[in-house]
C-alpha cells in the first residue's frame, strides 16, 4: 500500500486509516490499527497538519544519500494522533540555532532520486514538513 500512500502525498493528500472499532487513526496505513490491532479499518484522508516533536540535523549520510547532507529529519505528531517521519523544510543552520520543537507544520512531498536498496526503484518520494507562520 506504500505506493498509494506516496502517490497520494504527491497530490497533496495524506492517506491514513480510521479504526471503526476504537476510532483512532493509523498513518501511514497498516493492515491493523496501530492502537487496538483491529482489522476493521477504513481509508481516510488526514488533515496533513501537525506539531514537531523532535528532529535532528544529519551530517553523515548513508551510501546513496551523500548529496543530500546536511538534512533535517523530524518526527511530527499529526493532529489526528499518529506520529510520522519526514524532513523539515528548513535551513539546517536555522534548525541548529533554534528550538523548532512544538512548531506547527503542514505536510507535502518531494520527489528525489532513489538508491540501490530502496524499494521504489524509479524515485523516492520524501514526506516534507513546512513550518507554518
The answer to the question of residue 60 lying near other proteins (CB under 8 A) is yes
Q: Are 124 and 109 in contact (CB under 8 A)?
A: no
Q: How many residues bind other proteins (CB under 8 A)?
A: 42
The answer to the question of residue 86 lying near other proteins (CB under 8 A) is yes
> Nine-digit cell at 110?
518531494
Q: Which of 24, 79, 104, 126 binds other proteins (CB under 8 A)?
A: 126
The answer to the question of residue 34 lying near other proteins (CB under 8 A) is yes
How many angstroms separate the CA atoms of 94 and 100, rounded? 9
The answer to the question of residue 51 lying near other proteins (CB under 8 A) is no
The window from 11-19, 41-49, 63-71 that contacts other proteins (CB under 8 A) reads 63-71
> Nine-digit cell at 96?
541548529
List all residues 6 or more positions away from 55 whose beta carbon is below 8 Å from its beta carbon.
72, 73, 74, 75, 88, 95, 100, 101
The answer to the question of residue 46 lying near other proteins (CB under 8 A) is no
Q: Which is nearer to other proteins, 44 or 64 (CB)?
A: 64
List all residues 6 or more positions away from 118 whose beta carbon is below 8 Å from its beta carbon.
64, 124
Q: Which is nearer to other proteins, 28 or 48 (CB)?
A: 28
Q: Which is nearer to other proteins, 24 or 44 (CB)?
A: 24
Binders in 101-120 for other proteins, by CB under 8 A: 101, 117-120
Cis-peptide into 28, omega within 30 deg: yes
Amino acid at each position: 500500500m506504500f505506493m498509494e500512500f506516496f502517490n497520494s502525498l504527491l497530490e497533496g493528500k495524506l492517506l491514513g486509516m480510521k479504526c471503526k472499532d476504537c476510532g483512532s487513526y493509523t498513518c501511514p496505513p497498516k493492515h491493523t490499527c496501530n492502537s487496538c490491532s483491529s482489522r476493521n479499518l477504513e481509508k481516510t484522508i488526514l488533515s496533513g497538519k501537525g506539531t514537531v516533536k523532535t528532529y535532528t540535523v544529519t551530517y553523515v549520510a548513508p551510501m546513496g544519500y551523500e548529496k543530500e547532507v546536511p538534512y533535517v529529519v523530524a518526527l511530527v505528531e499529526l493532529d489526528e494522533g499518529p506520529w510520522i517521519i519526514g524532513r523539515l523544510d528548513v535551513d539546517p543552520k536555522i534548525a541548529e540555532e533554534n528550538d523548532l520543537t512544538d512548531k506547527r507544520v503542514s505536510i507535502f512531498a518531494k520527489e528525489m532520486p532513489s538508491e540501490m536498496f530502496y524499494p521504489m526503484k524509479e524515485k523516492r518520494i520524501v514526506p516534507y514538513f513546512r513550518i507554518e507562520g
